[in-house]
Structure formats: C-alpha cells, structure tokens
C-alpha cells in the first residue's frame, strides 16, 4: 500500500471488512452484510464503493453483471499502513510510545501477552 494512499474512512473500513471476510462481492451483497449490524442504503454503499475505487482502495470487475468489487489491499497491508500513519502523526514515530499507550488503554489477555513476548523474543534473536 503506497504511502500516498488515502486513509479509508470508518464507513469505507466497514466495507473493506466485508470484502476481507467474504471475498469479492456485488454492491447488493455488501449492503446485505452491512444491514445485519446497521441499516445501510444501497445508494450509500454504491457511492462509497465509487469513492473507494477512485481512492484505489477497491477494484471493480466490470466484466460481470452485477459488477463485483474486491479489496485492492489485504487486511494486513491496510492495518500496517494505518498504523504507520498513526505512528507518525500521533506518536512522532516512536514505536515505544505507541505500544505503551496501546497497552495502557486496554488490559491484555494472557494469550495476547504471550504472543507479544514471542514477537519480542523473535526480534531479540534477530539482533544477536
């Protein structure tokens, strides 16, 4: 995901989540999934997808009817881009400050802490 890539809005992230979880879909299919948690109009979803296509967040397959949309970037790529942006804008590039704030915001489960420890051990092993 290019650094000039525009950040998705909350509504756009909701659509991306549908595409990441269920794969390529039509506007109607995306709307049905979104409606399960919050009423969303067809034209609203269509307009968001048009904007997302212009931003380069989704790709539209016009060879099919109805047109099918797919996420251009994986969930992991998007999360990393958003995190890099947040890291620089809110934490002055300090990974330490970001991690400390994240851990102070919400109590981590035992499993999460073990995963963090494994990641730190892996990084420590790479430095030796």
- Residue 128: the pLDDT is 60
For residue 4, what pLDDT is reported? 58
2: pLDDT strictly greater than 70: no
* Both tokens assigned to 88: 């620089």
Q: What is the pTM of this model?
A: 0.81
Instruction: Report d(CA 108, CA 69) in Å as an integer.
Output: 36
Only one residue has tokens 């990974």, namely 95
The model's pLDDT over 35-69, given as tens digits with 9 standing for 90+, comes to 999 999 999 999 999 999 999 999 999 898 899 99
CA–CA distances in Å: residue 50 to residues 12, 14, 43, 102, 124: 11, 15, 10, 34, 45
In the predicted structure, residue 20 carries a pLDDT above the cut 70: yes
CATH of 1-91, one of 2.60.40.1930, 1.10.10.10, 3.40.50.300, 2.60.40.1120: 1.10.10.10
**Position 3 confidence tier, pLDDT thresholds 50, 70, 90:** very low
């Amino acid at each position: 995901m290019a650094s000039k890539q525009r950040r998705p809005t909350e509504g756009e992230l909701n659509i991306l989540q549908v595409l990441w979880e269920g794969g390529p879909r039509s506007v109607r299919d995306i709307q049905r999934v979104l409606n399960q948690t919050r009423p969303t109009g067809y034209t609203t979803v269509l307009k968001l997808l048009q904007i997302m296509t212009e931003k380069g967040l989704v790709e539209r397959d016009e060879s099919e009817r109805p047109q099918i949309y797919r996420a251009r970037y994986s969930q992991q790529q998007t999360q990393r881009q958003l995190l890099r942006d947040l890291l620089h804008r809110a934490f002055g590039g300090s990974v330490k400050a970001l991690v400390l704030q994240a851990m102070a915001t919400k109590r981590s489960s035992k499993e999460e802490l073990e995963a963090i420890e494994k990641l730190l051990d892996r990084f420590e092993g790479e430095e030796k």
